[in-house]
């Protein structure tokens, strides 16, 4: 299940009163139209979000939601989970549970709820907390009803509203209302709004009402849910967080405001500056200086978050990070910028929305769309990007966490929107060269597998594990059938681009099979082709986020007394999606098989999914062709 949003609030639990009368008829599951039940694990019966701007740098968020849980797959949605920061006040109006007939079976009291720190294991201090209540269902279906409000003291970010909360969910009624009696300038952006949405406008108030939205299905290789669901993004043009005021009417002005947060926080001690210059004095280039300091950062620091108040968006002083040896993404990135500045290299603190596949971005809505910080280092005609929270990332490697997306580079008094590098098909590859030897003692194999670009994301972590964990990982990771890992070694190469090379020695228990004078062998030892699930009535676009390729060369030393009877050869091509080829040749004493597969990035209409499925299925069938050896007379 993929959740689109969760209930995230900043505030301190105030009081709970059980009010708000609901008729049994209103929440009876029998009243849900069949079209909304079919294929749904949950149904939003009625959800109303209201944003009230009160002036004086404050606003109130109120949410009322009646959510029917059809089966256990959606149970997690029923639990009350409110993440908040201390210092504000949350007011609960209603918290209750209803049975399938719409009859209230439980009123949830304040004393029933848990309230504890929401800080993660890598956080020392944080004012983040969570209010939590776990629903224990008596039977399915049932309905929860929550109604609360909270007053925020900062004008920084308001709402990304979707009528859906999760996938496999339908919507009876859902609405967003903006009440702007304070006349605060707002940026409101809408996407994927259905034709039947009702819009009501009056003085200082605007409401969007959604109704009868069908179940939102999750399909293989579909775009992010935020790209397909109806969304309304509301943000202030005037921003205020504690004593920091500014405007987000342009990326330059928003960057100026972010820059102010780190003003006076880049100083390092005299001894540290001297040490850094001595450390890099023999570097052969500016890039080599950057590498040396990045490796120093990785060896000296580790990720720990201290997030109190504005500390959630403001970096701590560089000299403090230097002394303590830890910090979060903001702290470590600011520290890296400070160290590079100490050796005369200009670099820039950069903010980004992180996470694999998190490419959704509103270029025409400047403001808070970021959750992470990295460093941009321009070096002549080249730019190096640094992930400062990882102690193991190769120099200059971003990976799926921050690749190919809009980021805001924070200049001295401005911000510039740019994109991080895209890893192309020439970057993203897995290449292997394996030699198979057969003797009376059995079949053995040895060779090298190279991972590059986004294909090395998982291998970066594996290469830095201990030997026991590496063996467990490789036993799951390698596609090779029925093998025993005899020996292995990871090598991390960084020039000219990061590549991870894995050397392996294997025992193959059933490489050759057969009888009556014939031996059969599958030559697709590794990088087998996975066929996606068949979808007969595709609703969403087919989305392939990046291109990649694999190339595998298997050399088989011929078993004594055998010759080839069938050498597998095949080819599958579709200019929209990619290509596959297998070529096998026989030379005196051994057989060489070269397999190549390419998959192209792209976005395709839903009706093209069947063609993509057929391409992948044909490629997998072609890849399964076997080598056949026959015993010589």
The DSSP code sequence of 6-30 is --B--SEEEEE-------HHHH-GG
CA gap 29, 27 in Å, rounded: 6
CA gap 147, 129 in Å, rounded: 19
3-class SS of residue 567: coil
Task: Report the pLDDT averaged over residues 130-155.
Answer: 91
Least confident of 81-95, 175-189, 322-336, 396-410: 81-95
At 10 the pLDDT is 32
Question: Are 578 and 600 contacting, i.e. CB atoms less than 8 angstroms apart?
Answer: yes
At 308 the pLDDT is 66
What's the alpha-carbon Rg for the chain, to the nearest Å? 29
Inform me whether the pLDDT recorded for 347 exceeds 60: yes
Inform me whether the pLDDT recorded for 8 exceeds 90: no
Q: What is the CATH number of domain 247-419?
A: 3.10.620.30
Q: Which of these CATH numbers, 1.20.1250.20, 1.10.472.50, 3.10.20.30, 2.60.40.3140, describes 12-236?
A: 2.60.40.3140
Inform me whether the pLDDT recorded for 377 exceeds 50: yes
Inform me whether the pLDDT recorded for 123 exceeds 70: no
Under the banding of pLDDT at 50, 70 and 90, the label for residue 315 is: very high
Task: Report the pLDDT averaged over residues 289-298.
Answer: 98
CA gap 471, 499 in Å, rounded: 20
β-pairing, 12-16 vs 244-247, is unpaired
102 CB contacts (<8 Å, ≥6 apart)? Answer: 22, 23, 24, 25, 26, 27, 28, 29, 143
Within this chain, domains 247-419 and 429-631 share the same CATH topology:
no
Inform me whether the pLDDT recorded for 129 exceeds 50: yes
Give bridge partners of residue 557 from the DSSP assignment.
590
Over residues 265-287, the pLDDT tens digits come to 999 999 999 999 999 999 999 99
Task: Report the pLDDT averaged over residues 212-226.
Answer: 93
Q: Give me the chain's average pLDDT, please.
A: 91
Inform me whether the pLDDT recorded for 159 exceeds 90: no
At 6 the pLDDT is 39
Inform me whether the pLDDT recorded for 602 exceeds 50: yes
Residue 581 corresponds to which tokens in the numbers above? 């080829």
Give whole-number Cα distances, 227 to 214, 387, 591, 612, in Å.
Answer: 16, 27, 49, 21
- CB burial of 10-45 (b: ≥16 within 10 Å; e: otherwise) equals bbbbeebeeeeebeeeebbbeebeeebeeebbbbbb
At 462 the pLDDT is 96
CA gap 318, 340 in Å, rounded: 12
Q: Where do runs of H (alpha helix) occur along 401-496?
A: 457-463, 467-477
Q: For 299-326, give the secondary structure using H, E and C.
A: HHCEECEEECHHHHCCCCCHHHHHHHCE
488 CB contacts (<8 Å, ≥6 apart)? Answer: 470, 471, 474, 502, 503, 504, 505
* Closest by Cα among 154, 146, 173 to 78: 146
CA gap 177, 49 in Å, rounded: 6
At 113 the pLDDT is 85
At 359 the pLDDT is 80
CA gap 195, 215 in Å, rounded: 17
CA gap 431, 424 in Å, rounded: 15
In this prediction the pTM is: 0.91
At 432 the pLDDT is 96
The full set of domain ranges for the chain reads 12-236, 247-419, 429-631
Q: Would you tell me the crossing angle of helices 286-300 and 329-342 to the nearest 10 degrees? A: 140
Higher per-residue confidence, 5 vs 430: 430
Over residues 573-591, the pLDDT tens digits come to 999 999 999 999 999 889 9
104 CB contacts (<8 Å, ≥6 apart)? Answer: 22, 96, 97, 98
* Closest by Cα among 143, 161, 152, 149 to 184: 152
β-pairing, 429-439 vs 548-557, is parallel
For 365, phi then psi, to 5°, come to -135, 80
516 CA to centre of own chain: 53
Q: Where does residue 583 rank: exposed (0-12), middle (13-18), buried (19+ CB within 10 A)? A: middle
Inform me whether the pLDDT recorded for 188 exceeds 90: yes
β-pairing, 123-126 vs 80-85, is unpaired
β-pairing, 326-327 vs 302-303, is parallel
Q: Which of these CATH numbers, 3.40.1390.10, 3.40.630.10, 2.60.120.1130, 3.40.50.2300, describes 429-631?
A: 2.60.120.1130
Task: Report the pLDDT averaged over residues 539-549.
Answer: 96
Q: Where does residue 490 rank: exposed (0-12), middle (13-18), buried (19+ CB within 10 A)? A: middle
Percent of the chain surpassing pLDDT 90: 76
* Closest by Cα among 273, 336, 280, 274 to 303: 336
* Closest by Cα among 424, 420, 410 to 359: 420
């Amino acid at each position: 299940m993929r959740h689109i949003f969760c209930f995230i609030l900043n505030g301190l639990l105030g009081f709970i009163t059980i009010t708000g009368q609901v008729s049994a008829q209103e929440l009876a599951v029998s009243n849900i139209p069949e079209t909304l039940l079919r294929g749904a694990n949950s149904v939003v019966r009625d959800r109303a979000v209201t944003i009230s701007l009160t002036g004086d740098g404050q606003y109130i968020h109120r949410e009322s939601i009646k959510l029917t849980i059809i089966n256990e797959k959606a149970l997690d949605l029923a639990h009350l989970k409110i993440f908040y920061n201390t210092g504000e006040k949350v007011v609960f109006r209603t918290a209750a549970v209803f049975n399938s007939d719409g009859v209230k079976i439980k009123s949830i009291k304040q004393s029933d709820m848990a309230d504890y720190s929401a800080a993660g294991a890598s956080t020392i201090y944080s004012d983040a907390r969570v209010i939590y209540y776990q629903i224990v269902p008596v039977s399915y279906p049932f309905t929860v009803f929550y109604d609360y409000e909270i007053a925020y003291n900062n004008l920084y970010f308001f709402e990304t509203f979707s009528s859906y909360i999760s996938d496999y969910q339908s919507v009876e009624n859902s609405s967003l209302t903006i009440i702007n009696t304070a006349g605060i300038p707002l940026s409101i952006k809408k996407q994927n709004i259905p034709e039947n949405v009702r819009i009501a406008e009056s003085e200082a108030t605007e409401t969007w009402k959604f109704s009868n939205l069908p179940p939102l299905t999750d399909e293989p290789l579909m775009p992010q849910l935020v790209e397909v669901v109806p969304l309304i993004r509301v943000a202030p043009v005037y921003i205020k967080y504690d004593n920091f005021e500014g405007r987000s009417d342009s990326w330059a002005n928003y960057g100026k405001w972010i820059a102010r947060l780190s003003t006076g926080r880049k100083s390092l001690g005299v001894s540290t500056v001297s040490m850094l210059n001595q450390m890099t004095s023999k570097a052969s280039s500016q890039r080599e200086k950057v590498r040396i300091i990045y490796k120093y950062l990785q060896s000296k620091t580790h990720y720990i978050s201290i997030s109190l108040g504005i500390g959630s968006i403001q970096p701590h002083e560089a000299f403090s990070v230097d002394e303590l040896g830890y910090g979060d993404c903001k702290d470590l990135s600011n520290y890296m910028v400070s160290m590079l500045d100490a050796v005369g290299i200009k670099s820039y603190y950069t903010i980004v929305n992180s996470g694999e596949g998190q490419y959704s971005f509103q270029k025409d809505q400047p403001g808070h769309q970021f959750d992470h910080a990295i460093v941009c280092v321009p070096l002549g005609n080249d730019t190096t990007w640094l992930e400062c929270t990882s102690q193991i990332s190769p120099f200059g490697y971003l990976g799926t966490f921050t690749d190919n997306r809009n980021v805001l580079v924070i200049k001295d008094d401005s911000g510039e929107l740019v994109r991080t590098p895209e890893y192309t098909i020439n970057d993203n590859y897995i290449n292997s060269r394996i030699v198979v030897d057969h003797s009376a003692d059995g079949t053995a194999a040895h060779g090298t597998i190279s991972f590059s670009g986004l294909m090395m994301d998982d291998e970066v972590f594996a290469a830095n594990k201990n030997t026991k964990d590496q063996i467990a990982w490789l036993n799951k990771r390698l596609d090779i059938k029925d093998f025993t890992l005899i020996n292995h070694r990871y090598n991390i190469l960084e020039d000219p681009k990061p590549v991870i090379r894995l050397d392996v020695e294997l025992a193959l228990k059933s490489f050759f099979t057969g009888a009556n004078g014939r031996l059969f062998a599958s030559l697709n030892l590794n990088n087998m082709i996975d066929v996606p699930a068949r979808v007969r009535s595709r609703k969403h676009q087919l989305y392939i986020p990046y291109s990649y390729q694999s190339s595998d060369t298997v050399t088989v030393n011929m078993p004594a007394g055998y010759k080839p009877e069938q050498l597998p050869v095949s080819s599958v091509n579709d200019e929209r999606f990619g290509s596959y080829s297998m070529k096998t040749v026989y030379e005196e004493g051994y057989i060489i098989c070269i397999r190549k597969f390419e998959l192209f990035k792209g976005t395709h209409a839903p009706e093209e999914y069947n063609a993509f499925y057929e391409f992948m299925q044909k490629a997998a069938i072609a890849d399964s062709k076997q080598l056949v050896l026959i015993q010589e007379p």
